[in-house]
Amino acid sequence: MKKLLGIALALVLVLGMAANASALTVAFSQIGQESDWRTANTDNVCAAIEAQGWELVYADAQQKQENQVQALRSFITQGVDYILFTGVVSSGWDEVLKEVNEAEIPLLLLDRIPDCVDEIEYAAAFGGDFVEEGRRMVRWLANYLEKEGRGDEEINIVMLEGTTGADAQVGRSEGILAELENYPNLKLVAQQTGNFTRAEGQPVMESFLKSVDKIDVLLAQNDDMALGAIDAIKAAGKVPGKDIIVIGCDSVKAAFDAIVAGDMNATIECTPLYADFVVDAINRLEAGEDLGREIIHPDEGCFDAEGGIEYAEGLVSVKAADVIDERVY
Ligand code: AHR
């Protein structure tokens, strides 16, 4: 009887240890819920963590850097096993991320990469290639104009920028400006932030329409701002997609709907679906693998009304209507 009790106790201890090993606590410092992209990203990552049976500690920073700093410090105090981090802006993270390093909590950088990336330790990094996305917006435009027989026309462009200082804004602006250098007839005549939101894209476009005499193209650094701007274009008595070419970024379902309706011309993809990367990275880290310091960029496409427009070397757009039913975000 004593022997049996001993075996049972040992079994309970072993099972308890195994349960602890699989019950990881994964904390996620997310920036807020400013766009359809962000909502899809949050849902996708959180659902994947919970589906693994891992405990999720989620903190929505409501676009405030100080809230993210506080959340990261609280993750350290709680002794979480992994931290997933997207910074609302690029700078100002050195101190708190070094604290994460000192606490020896593996850090996974998602989406927006902080500018102190070379000075900190991180276990894995994954996000869009924002500079390339900006370049793609302009290349798609140049090739579309060429196809329309407008390749040599003087074209006035207005640009809605994302949250000032965010990696996605800095990168996309850099890519757009660099690519515009290749097309002297494409002129950027106005630019302003719309904070990556539909609510701010609308009034900023409204003010562009009042202050700029001739607008041929809107480059919106995300689809939400493009959709807000479309409302402003319609309210001004112009036809979006025709009088003003509208190009967005993200490729959310609402942008596909706008393209199919003829209100929007193209959207450059930036995927928010990080679940597979996060789960795979954590499992490999748990198995003792070193994932190195490479920042992994997903393969991304471009969607428009007709398809067949080159937006990057050897890559052509896909007709949105053909794939709209497969769109999950
Ligand atoms: O960092 C990714 C960007 O942030 C997406 O393009 C935008 O929609 C989001 O808010």
* Residue 26 region by backbone torsions, left for phi larger than 0, else alpha for psi between -120 and 50, else beta: beta
Which residue's CA is minimally distant from atom 2 of ligand 1?
A: 168
Asked if the domains at 2-125+273-296 and 130-272+301-326 fall in one CATH topology, the answer is yes
**Cα-to-centroid distance, 38 and ligand 1 (Å):** 6
- The CATH homologous superfamily to which domain 2-125+273-296 belongs is Response regulator (3.40.50.2300)
Q: Which of 62, 84, 222, 268 gets mutated to test ligand 1 (max ligand atoms within 8 A of its CB)?
A: 222
**Cα-to-centroid distance, 314 and ligand 1 (Å):** 26
pLDDT for res 295: 98
140, amino acid identity: W
Alpha-carbon distance 135 to 145, whole Å? 16
pLDDT for res 22: 63
Show the tokens assigned to 62: 């409501």
Q: Is the CB of 168 under 6 A from ligand 1?
A: yes
Spell out a b/e string for 172-210, using b for 16 or more CB atoms within 10 Å of the CB, else e.
bbebbeebbeebeebebbebbbbbbbbebbbebbbebbe
Distant-in-sequence, close-in-space partners of 213: CB < 8 Å, separation ≥ 6: none
Domain-wise residue ranges, the chain = 2-125+273-296, 130-272+301-326
User: Which segments in the chain show pLDDT lower than 50?
Assistant: 1-2, 4-21
pLDDT for res 16: 42
| Cα 190 → chain centroid | 24
Q: Is the CB of 196 under 6 A from ligand 1?
A: yes
How many residues are recorded in the chain? 329
Torsion angle of C-alpha atoms 189, 191, 196, 198, degrees rounded to 10 = -60
CATH class of 130-272+301-326: alpha beta
Q: Which of 33, 111, 223, 300 gets mutated to test ligand 1 (max ligand atoms within 8 A of its CB)?
A: 111
pLDDT for res 6: 47
